[in-house]
Structure 1
């Protein structure tokens, strides 16, 4: 934002072109009787053939309405699908916590746990089981961060099929 380059301008132009030819399309927001915060996370393991880095993606809903989404290439090469998913899950938890803090700051009382839906049973299992040291040494900080939020009952990880 502070130092835009030609690549940034090309991306903006591409987005504006898309919006210009997408009249009548958009996101539908509806009023619901709850302000539950839910997220969905996924990662593709070593999909990029040039460097074998994974891409993490998540999107979040507040009150059943889509409010944020992101897809980003991971900074390091993941050694397994569970590791790629786990790193993506940590970023998703950060987003959910940020949304919760924001809504609390502007006056909304949020009491229920937030759901972060994940399609990887191994990742969910590692999140709940701190004993699997040999499988989690390379993601130790993320594991402690996620475990802390689980223990405080701030987040919950229901399984969802891909």
Structure 2
């Protein structure tokens, strides 16, 4: 498993502003190497918009980690894999005629569209129950938290060589 990222957003969950929370996690060799969770700075008018605009910072982080790997002679093959659990957001990225209502959001849209069009990012859909970044965007009940911890690879593992030494 090489370089891969997961992006998710929780729509309008800030009760005062109705801002959404976006988050993403970048994995390298099966382990998390970068993660971020942040309240979006605008009020999205749909789940699709919240998810869609969150794809840009996720793509930027993925490309940045790949650039670091390149500097050490370990650049990953393109396209880099980015997962979203919003098929609507993914389909909007793949539609080059997508329009946005405001200029600042339009810039967010065009970045991810451009990265996919250039073949730098491969945007794939992943079911919500498999979305690792879900744990960064909302409070989790105990079962979802346990799944999140397991998806991060933060589980107790038996180390047999300690027993034999």
Question: Same fold by TM (over 0.5)?
Answer: yes
Q: Which one of the candidate residues 87, 99, 111 is aligned to 1:145?
A: 111
In structure 2, what is the Cα distance between the partners aligned to 1:131 and 1:109? 31
Residue 159 (structure 1) aligned with residue 125 (structure 2): yes
- TM-score computed with the length of structure 2 as normaliser: 0.72
In structure 2, what is the Cα distance between the partners aligned to 1:119 and 1:109? 26
More relative contact order in 1 or in 2 (CA 8 Å, sep 6+)?
Answer: 2
CA deviations 1:57-85 (Å, max 9, x no partner) are 11110122111111110111111111111
Count of matched residue pairs: 126
**C-alpha displacement of 1:109:** 3.1
Superposition misfits of 4+ residues, deviation over 6 angstroms = none
In structure 2, what is the Cα distance between the partners aligned to 1:117 and 1:111? 16
Query: What 5-or-longer segments of structure 2 have no aligned partner?
Result: 129-165
Query: What 5-or-longer segments of structure 1 have no aligned partner?
Result: 1-33
**C-alpha displacement of 1:143:** 1.9
1:50-65 correspondence to structure 2 within 5 Å: 50-65=16-31
Aligned to 1:107: 73
Assess if the C-alpha contact under 8 Å between 2:66 and 2:75 holds in 1: no
In structure 1, what is the Cα distance between the partners aligned to 2:75 and 2:93? 27
